[in-house]
Amino acid sequence: MKNTWFAWRYLWKSEDIRRMLLATLGLLAIYRLAANVPVPGIDFAVLADLKAMMAAQGGTFVQFLDLLSGGTISNFSILSMGVYPYITAQIILQLLIPIIPSLQQRMQENPTEGRKWMQRTTYYLAVPMAALSAFGQINIFNNMTLSSPFINKAVINFGFTAETIIPSLTALISMVAGTMFAIWLGELISEFGIRGQGLSLVIFAGIVSQMPGNLLQIAADEQNRYIMLALMIVVIVATIFAIVYVQQGRRNVPVMYPGRRVGNRMSMPVKASLPLMVNMAGMIPLIFASAILQFPAILSSWFLTSENETIRQIAIGTQTTFSPGNSAYWIIYFFMVVLFSFFYTDVLFTQQNYGENLKKNGAQIPGVERGKKTQDYLSKVQRRITLPGALFLGIVAVLPFIVSLFLQAVGLGGGLNSSSSLFLASSSGLLIVVGVVRDTFSVIDAELKLHGYQDSILVR
């Protein structure tokens, strides 16, 4: 058998695959260039002071978001929110469909039109989601600089008075437009580049862009650089192995398909299996939980300058609690990820409706009645195997906190900066990176087979 990696030479040999890869790389390069375009009206001197302050503190809420955004938040780029408002809107609609009967009926009556409606509605919902995120981000930045005795100046002149309404609307519109531009680039990648991977590759590009900076951060520590490098290799290899192992996890439920009549002969029943995934929800619980945990910090930022002392203290306490520098944040994050894993998996599994689909094909699980009984049995099995997958996602979510505690225990420092350096990206980001690489390899492998390179398998 040919060497698996020998297939890479065919990537450039096929004109269609070469064009696909070049289109993907070109569009990602445009995205990274646009990520350096700042929001209009930014005071760059204040922004530089803020970045220095965050680097000194470590583990701030903004730094945690910055890890997944590819550095666009700390640079106050027009792409600060990336494509996350679109993903959040998509998740919200997916969760609303089984709850609202009219939406569920629309999707079941005409699935093709239902998907078009959902895609169009997701775009519409992404706009207000991006506007709310932009409003909150600007408020958080301004409150951080105004509350600092060393800065005491706003990053951007923001408000809705007669003097500030124009720059404020300009900043909001530019940030929302940046999000929609990132979504558009992702759609172009899916259409002209690596098919179906556009949005994933946009997120992937942002996360990977942070890795060189984290490597330099490790190299800058002359005293512990070799120990940190060894720990980095161990942590990354162990985490990637665990991610791949769990993502590949399946529970094969035996299914019997009836025999078929071919002429005058009747074939024997066919024994097959229905694979149920251990982690059916993928990265969605992490994204959804982190998005929800942003709202308390964003809402409290509006009241940090309140003249009422009680309200101001509540706002300060809320923002402290929901900051990654606080252990309470990670505990809440863990339980929310586990709960959302069960909830989202249940929603997806109900939409699949395996019981009715197997009944229509005449298939049956041995010892289980067809229809609703089959669906109930499969739901019970799915919930049982979801437990290890949900706990795994929860551990991945809080891994930076666990690593920071370990670093502090062994006297190598700690905080979000140190732990994230060991991953070269956050653990959530690493899960995205591994998933995107695997999916991208699968798409390229399918393209190679489609072009006749049957022996050139990239992924085993």
Domains of the chain: 1-209 (1.10.3370.10), 210-259+269-425 (1.10.3370.10)
* Cα(193)–Cα(207) distance, integer angstroms: 20
- What's residue 30's pLDDT? 92
- What's residue 456's pLDDT? 47
Buried residues in 373-405 as b, exposed as e (16+ CB within 10 A): ebbebbbeebeebbeebbebbbbbbbbbbebbe
- Judged against a pLDDT cut of 80, whether residue 83 lies above it is answered with yes
Tell me the residue length of the chain: 460
Residue 157: pLDDT band by 50, 70, 90 thresholds?
A: confident
Tell me the mean pLDDT in the region 143-163. Answer: 78
Buried residues in 175-188 as b, exposed as e (16+ CB within 10 A): bbebbbbbbebbbb
- What's residue 457's pLDDT? 45
Tell me the mean pLDDT in the region 90-115. Answer: 79
The pLDDT tens digits for 192-220 are 888 877 888 888 888 787 777 777 777 77
Share of the chain above pLDDT 90, in %: 5
Report the chain's mean pLDDT, rounded to a whole number. Answer: 78
- Judged against a pLDDT cut of 90, whether residue 174 lies above it is answered with yes
Residue 60: pLDDT band by 50, 70, 90 thresholds?
A: low
- What's residue 176's pLDDT? 93
- What's residue 194's pLDDT? 84
Contact between 324 and 350 (Cβ < 8 Å) = no
The answer to which of 56-60, 120-124, 167-171 has the lowest mean pLDDT is: 56-60
Between 58 and 357, the more confident residue is 357
